[in-house]
Structure 1
Amino acid sequence: MTEQIHMSPTRAFKFNKNPLRALQDYNGEIEWWEGDNTPLLFGNIVHNLAEGRYMLDGFAEDDKASIISTRGKTKGDLKAAFADAVVIGGALRKYVEKIDPDNKAQFEVPIEEPDQVIYKTDDMSEGISQVLDGKIDYLLTGRADMVTENAIYDFKTVAPMEFDGLLKFGSFRDNREEEYKMQVAMYCAVFDIPEAHILYIKKKADTPFIYDYMLTLDDLHKGLEQVSQFINKGVLTVAGIEKATAINDGSKWSYEHFGGVINDSQTIEI
């Protein structure tokens, strides 16, 4: 590798799920995201409003065109799929103002920290096999939603049924809350801040409940350990030290890669 490797917790999660697909995404060959980007745009509107910015701040013109109505009586207004985002973003903004009444919080704080991965490698340069330490420099990247003097906050918009399930069972069906914890745990380590919260907000305009989940010390310790392992795996895969294995994760990518057929020789994770 001649270019410096960049690795964020979010990208590392992809390498943990499907190394080959993640590597192709990293190299710009095939994008990871396959679905409709409406939930992403909805979430971005909520984030902007919650952080005190104009709702379409940072949106590309193509994205604006898919959000704003251009015809009829609703011309210039948000399309129906995004109208609730204003209410939900406003509700989250009110909660943020309670957390940060003096308006001292920082939002969308970038992370760019030089780091290293140490790994074991076999050396045969002197005619005998020796296990030596190898190292790869990389740049740890990311972006924290909200940073105060005492805590890190991450915002997550959640569909109503999933939100209710999270409250009842303490997890999502796909267990993605564990990735959220890992991500925030890494941010706490980088900023040397001991407290972290994930603010889950229900995507329902008439009842935009907020679930303020404060990470436990166990969440922080386990999360940092796990995300560090995933980041190391991602860096080693990009560097070519670890094999980029293809995993049948049920995606369109997997359907095309495996020819639409599942057999016992595949690593399957659906």
Structure 2
Amino acid sequence: MELTQENYYQDKSYLTNSRFKRYQKCQAEALAVDNGEWVEDRDETPLLLGNYVHSFFESEEAHKQFLEENGEKLLAKAGKNKGKLKSDFLIGDKMIESLKDDVGFKRLYHGLADDDVQKEMIVYGELEGVPVKGKLDSVNLSRGYFVDLKTMKSIYSEEWNAELRKRVPVAVNNILGFGYHGQLALYRELLRQMTGKEFRPLIVAVSKEKVPDREILKVDEEWLAQGLEKLKADIVEVWDVINGKREPKKCGHCDYCRSQKQLGVVVSLDELIGGG
């Protein structure tokens, strides 16, 4: 299928990074969602907030369309703020304000006057023989880089990272925890397949704090390589599950797995301590 802006989200013939990550969490639940047998109960607010900010910097038309399609979800339905933006989305306006007049951001995200910059560019290709696609926030084809705009709780506040076994800035947990290093590496590979050129991936991080912080972040090459290897390690198995060639694995702990649970096996205290 030829991918277009109109059919991109309906198309299932290519695997996306976000869909792949759902299968990494629990193959059984992800397949049930794909087949319409299970509806995820998740908070839409972070996704809506991210898209609210993204659409503003894509174009005036894209932001207007987003507001027309999602306006009711953004507005308070009761109380003194009825008809106004919910408090969850007021921070979106602050995030937009923090970036829209930032000279460095404008130069990076929109490029210079003569640059060939594509917004929401569709990329596609194969990874380990699996058809994969993605959409890039901003690609500067003239200067050989692309930018992913990420909204985060914070950038520099510290949190514990179990894998690294130390406290790290929230931005680190955000990038590694959500697999953004793999996503960037995948997009770079798809761009290389499409253009024959190497592109430099960058993240513009903007925080959801009362006074939003912002940074241009580079993911080091070793992290990009690690992220891509994680994708390669599981992508064929996931694609086989999607196409009915392999039975999906159950994680045993998500909402879907709990809904399917039947008692029968006795679990010991030591097994609980060891993670079940």
TM-score (norm: length of structure 2)? 0.73
SS in 1 for 2:43: coil
In structure 2, runs of 5+ residues without a counterpart are 1-10, 161-166, 193-197
- In 2, distance between residues paired with 1:163 and 1:215? 16
CA contact (8 A) 1:21 1:246 kept: yes
CA RMSD of aligned residues (A): 3.5
Map of 1:172 onto structure 2: 173
What code does the residue aligned with 2:105 have? V
TM-score (norm: length of structure 1)? 0.74
- In 2, distance between residues paired with 1:169 and 1:5? 38
Map of 1:133 onto structure 2: none
- Given the alignment of the two structures, is residue 97 of structure 1 paired with residue 106 of structure 2, yes or no? yes
What code does the residue aligned with 1:142 have? G
Among all aligned residue pairs of Structure 1 and Structure 2, give the percentage whose two residues are the same amino acid: 20
Q: 1:213 aligns with which of 204, 217, 225?
A: 217
- In 2, distance between residues paired with 1:142 and 1:222? 19
* CA 48–4 in structure 1, closer or farther in 2 if over 3 Å, else same: closer
- In 2, distance between residues paired with 1:147 and 1:102? 12
What count of residue pairs does the alignment treat as equivalent?
242
What code does the residue aligned with 2:74 have? I
Map of 1:238 onto structure 2: 242
What code does the residue aligned with 1:147 have? V
Map of 2:3 onto structure 1: none
- Given the alignment of the two structures, is residue 78 of structure 1 paired with residue 85 of structure 2, yes or no? yes
For residue 234 of structure 1, report the CA deviation from its aligned partner. 1.5
- Given the alignment of the two structures, is residue 204 of structure 1 paired with residue 201 of structure 2, yes or no? no
CA contact (8 A) 2:54 2:149 kept: yes
* CA 237–76 in structure 1, closer or farther in 2 if over 3 Å, else same: same
SS in 1 for 2:136: strand
Deviations 1:9-33 (A, max 9, x none): 21112212211111112223223x4
CA contact (8 A) 1:15 1:23 kept: yes
Map of 2:183 onto structure 1: 183
CA contact (8 A) 2:124 2:190 kept: no
**Higher RCO (CA < 8 A, seq sep 6+):** 1
* CA 260–13 in structure 1, closer or farther in 2 if over 3 Å, else same: farther
Map of 1:48 onto structure 2: 55
What code does the residue aligned with 1:182 have? G
* CA 108–52 in structure 1, closer or farther in 2 if over 3 Å, else same: same
- In 2, distance between residues paired with 1:152 and 1:264? 49
SS in 2 for 1:36: coil
- Given the alignment of the two structures, is residue 25 of structure 1 paired with residue 66 of structure 2, yes or no? no
SS in 2 for 1:57: helix
What code does the residue aligned with 2:234 have? F
- Given the alignment of the two structures, is residue 66 of structure 1 paired with residue 80 of structure 2, yes or no? no
In structure 1, runs of 5+ residues without a counterpart are 119-137
